[in-house]
Chain A
């Protein structure tokens, strides 16, 4: 088990290295730089700025300097936010995104699994159609449409919840988490329904029934374990994407999460911030995949760690 984790971590290093290399060179090949929009700069000032950020060195020099700093977990200074390093920016904003993303994943997983099982056990019944309808709404209406609609209803009309903002209180968290939960309910419940239907038809479930086990025991002790596998496989990457990918949510509800740096860094040509955020995101995605695989191994003895 530990050997497997160690090997997976080791195996993800080349991917992250490739990610760092590709983003580095793509960004440098692009015309223009972080200071090219600023016309007020004198040539001397520009040269001094470039020197301060090591932009005057040759490409290989810059590249190896960047890699060397990365090994020390140093993402470099941000060009746009002069007073902070990229590492600080990420560390300050990430906990907020993490909180919203994790809660959204917890709720959507639980609700999705329950809806999926209910739908699978009573195919074409009321619950099944209801869950299907919820899933379709979650899939088809983008969160950036649902978000403002909920803002109007609960914020402007009913005055139950604040329209936007973030002060750490529960009231400001409810709407963003709810909006982020909805599409994931759709994915999880669809996956769960499909795999549950398949599992119920397998031999080992039939055996459990033939033994005389009650319906509840059959489903929750035997079938559920097997049926969860595809859901678990989906959860790892999805959690990674949800935690970091709530860009639109953070914009709508004005939440100081990591999402806005994706956008502003790209717009400002803030090289070190783009690189830092990309690598950070990549690491989380890789970790999400890894956790999924490990969890699958814990559930399913057929998945071996070799």
Chain B
């Protein structure tokens, strides 16, 4: 079974017995190296990590929470020497802390939503692609129908059905976004199905589920990794869009989308309310765009 990695990358496993084959790196590490040599993508990853860290850790160091009103400092200006770094809103709430707290909701939902949709889609797609035949047709026809539904509509309908809460928002986003990666994973599984190492596994007595779980799914993951960073991006923009129009995150929680919505209403009085969350959201989307590009260049087998 150790030959699997060679199988995946024939260019390394050709008939060149005297070259130092043993020191060859696995396709995954090879891709990782390619990613790390993409400076823009790496910088974006670092920035994204810093923002995430700031959202979850920085609020711990301030003596006030996102909802605490400071009546001594209503609508305080930006002043890096005071406790309120970016000032306060008209109710005396600290702007920066509110944005960082909203980031916890936005980022948490995005990463968690992307992970869950990727997990579902890989298992579903791998199962359909490996089993093939009528089951495959049935499973993919269901996906086709769901894909033909406009996905904003799907999210809205699910949100209505489950009642408006953060949990139903999460479910709605996952239901809408697992479809495309499932199609991709299925395509990968179909191409793997007749490979020798799968046949060997079957001959060795593994059950269908074991093969799907231990061989098909992990091998489809490579392609889906690329797609998952795109998913994080889609979840974040979907969530903020829904929150902006009032169907997303519900009070008392706030996300970047709801904060931007609040800010857009008050642009005449205080433009910081719009610009601060807008800046964070845009920066994160910028970073995710470059990371996605980097991952695609590094991991997509067609790009090699």
User: Does A103 lie at the interface of the complex (its beta carbon under 8 Å from any beta carbon of B)?
Assistant: no
A293 to chain B, nearest CB (A): 14
Query: Residue-by-residue, is A111-147 near B (CB-CB < 8 Å gives 1, otherwise 0)?
Result: 0000000000000000000000000100111101101
Are A141 and B160 in contact, with the CB atoms below 8 A? Answer: no
- Given A140-B285, A148-B274, A262-B153, A286-B241 contact (CB < 8 Å): no
**Most central of A26, A140, A156, A263 by chain B CB within 10 Å:** A140
The residue that B244 contacts in the complex, of A140, A248, A269, with Cβ under 8 A, is A248
Please report the C-alpha to C-alpha distance between residue A18 and residue B152 in the assembled complex, in whole angstroms.
17
Which residues of B sit under 8 angstroms from A139, Cβ to Cβ?
Answer: 285, 289
Are A142 and B245 in contact, with the CB atoms below 8 A? Answer: no
Are A142 and B160 in contact, with the CB atoms below 8 A? Answer: no
- Given A245-B152, A266-B160, A251-B282 contact (CB < 8 Å): no
Are A15 and B150 in contact, with the CB atoms below 8 A? Answer: no
Of A40-48, A82-90, A165-173, A274-282, the segment with at least 4 beta carbons within 8 Å of chain B is: A274-282
- Given A156-B268, A282-B149, A282-B153, A136-B241 contact (CB < 8 Å): no
Please report the C-alpha to C-alpha distance between residue A23 and residue B156 in the assembled complex, in whole angstroms.
11
Which residues of A sit under 8 angstroms from B145, Cβ to Cβ?
Answer: 15, 18-19, 22
Please report the C-alpha to C-alpha distance between residue A260 and residue B268 in the assembled complex, in whole angstroms.
23
Please report the C-alpha to C-alpha distance between residue A30 and residue B289 in the assembled complex, in whole angstroms.
37
Contact-size category for B: 35 or more
Please report the C-alpha to C-alpha distance between residue A140 and residue B278 in the assembled complex, in whole angstroms.
10
Please report the C-alpha to C-alpha distance between residue A306 and residue B148 in the assembled complex, in whole angstroms.
21
Question: How many contacting A-B pairs (Cβ < 8 A)?
Answer: 111
Query: Residue-by-residue, is B227-268 near A (CB-CB < 8 Å gives 1, otherwise 0)?
Result: 000000000010011001111000000000000110110011
- Given A136-B289, A266-B159, A247-B245 contact (CB < 8 Å): yes
Which residues of B sit under 8 angstroms from A277, Cβ to Cβ?
Answer: 153
User: Does A29 lie at the interface of the complex (its beta carbon under 8 Å from any beta carbon of B)?
Assistant: yes
Are A145 and B278 in contact, with the CB atoms below 8 A? Answer: yes
- Given A30-B160, A251-B245, A262-B156, A19-B281 contact (CB < 8 Å): no
Q: Chain A contact residues: over half helix, strand or loop, or mixed?
A: helix
Which residues of A sit under 8 angstroms from B268, Cβ to Cβ?
Answer: 156
A18 to chain B, nearest CB (A): 5
* Nearest opposing residue in chain B for A143, CB measure: B241
User: Does A149 lie at the interface of the complex (its beta carbon under 8 Å from any beta carbon of B)?
Assistant: yes
Query: Residue-by-residue, is A266-306 near B (CB-CB < 8 Å gives 1, otherwise 0)?
Result: 11010000100110011001100000000000000000000
The residue that A152 contacts in the complex, of B161, B260, B271, B289, with Cβ under 8 A, is B271
Please report the C-alpha to C-alpha distance between residue A70 and residue B158 in the assembled complex, in whole angstroms.
23
- Given A30-B160, A145-B274, A266-B156, A22-B149 contact (CB < 8 Å): yes
Are B244 and A144 in contact, with the CB atoms below 8 A? Answer: yes
Which residues of B sit under 8 angstroms from A149, Cβ to Cβ?
Answer: 274-275, 278
User: Does B209 lie at the interface of the complex (its beta carbon under 8 Å from any beta carbon of A)?
Assistant: no
Which residues of B sit under 8 angstroms from A147, Cβ to Cβ?
Answer: 264
Are B267 and A151 in contact, with the CB atoms below 8 A? Answer: yes
User: Does A241 lie at the interface of the complex (its beta carbon under 8 Å from any beta carbon of B)?
Assistant: yes
Which residues of chain B (120-162) have a CB below 8 Å from chain A? 145, 148-150, 152-153, 156-162
Which residues of B sit under 8 angstroms from A152, Cβ to Cβ?
Answer: 267, 271
* Nearest opposing residue in chain A for B149, CB measure: A19
Which residues of A sit under 8 angstroms from B112, Cβ to Cβ?
Answer: none
Please report the C-alpha to C-alpha distance between residue A144 and residue B237 in the assembled complex, in whole angstroms.
11
Which residues of A sit under 8 angstroms from B160, Cβ to Cβ?
Answer: 27, 30, 266-267, 269, 274
Are A248 and B241 in contact, with the CB atoms below 8 A? Answer: yes
* Nearest opposing residue in chain B for A23, CB measure: B157
Are A266 and B157 in contact, with the CB atoms below 8 A? Answer: yes
User: Does B286 lie at the interface of the complex (its beta carbon under 8 Å from any beta carbon of A)?
Assistant: yes
Please report the C-alpha to C-alpha distance between residue A145 and residue B281 in the assembled complex, in whole angstroms.
9
Are A285 and B241 in contact, with the CB atoms below 8 A? Answer: no
* Nearest opposing residue in chain B for A275, CB measure: B157
Are B247 and A266 in contact, with the CB atoms below 8 A? Answer: yes
Are A27 and B148 in contact, with the CB atoms below 8 A? Answer: no
Which residues of A sit under 8 angstroms from B149, Cβ to Cβ?
Answer: 19, 22, 278, 282
User: Does A244 lie at the interface of the complex (its beta carbon under 8 Å from any beta carbon of B)?
Assistant: yes
* Nearest opposing residue in chain B for A271, CB measure: B160
Please report the C-alpha to C-alpha distance between residue A262 and residue B157 in the assembled complex, in whole angstroms.
10
B275 to chain A, nearest CB (A): 8
Are B245 and A140 in contact, with the CB atoms below 8 A? Answer: no
Please report the C-alpha to C-alpha distance between residue A189 and residue B198 in the assembled complex, in whole angstroms.
42
Are A263 and B285 in contact, with the CB atoms below 8 A? Answer: no
Which residues of A sit under 8 angstroms from B156, Cβ to Cβ?
Answer: 262-263, 266, 274
Query: Residue-by-residue, is A17-60 near B (CB-CB < 8 Å gives 1, otherwise 0)?
Result: 01100110011011100000000000000000000000000000
- Given A18-B145, A139-B289, A251-B245, A274-B150 contact (CB < 8 Å): no
* Nearest opposing residue in chain B for A289, CB measure: B148
* Nearest opposing residue in chain A for B261, CB measure: A144
Please report the C-alpha to C-alpha distance between residue A13 and residue B152 in the assembled complex, in whole angstroms.
21
- If A251-B245, A278-B149 are given as contacts, then 20 extra A-B residue pairs at C-beta distance below 8 Å, sorted by A number, are A18-B148, A19-B145, A27-B161, A30-B160, A140-B286, A141-B282, A142-B237, A142-B282, A142-B285, A144-B241, A148-B274, A244-B150, A251-B244, A263-B245, A266-B157, A266-B160, A274-B156, A274-B157, A281-B153, A282-B153
Q: List 22 A-B contacts (CB under 8 A).
A: A15-B148, A18-B145, A30-B160, A136-B289, A142-B237, A142-B241, A142-B260, A142-B282, A144-B240, A144-B241, A145-B260, A145-B274, A152-B267, A248-B244, A248-B245, A251-B244, A252-B264, A263-B247, A266-B247, A267-B160, A282-B149, A285-B148
Q: Which 10 A-B pairs have the closest CB atoms?
A: A145-B278, A30-B161, A140-B285, A140-B286, A148-B264, A141-B282, A266-B156, A144-B244, A266-B160, A18-B145
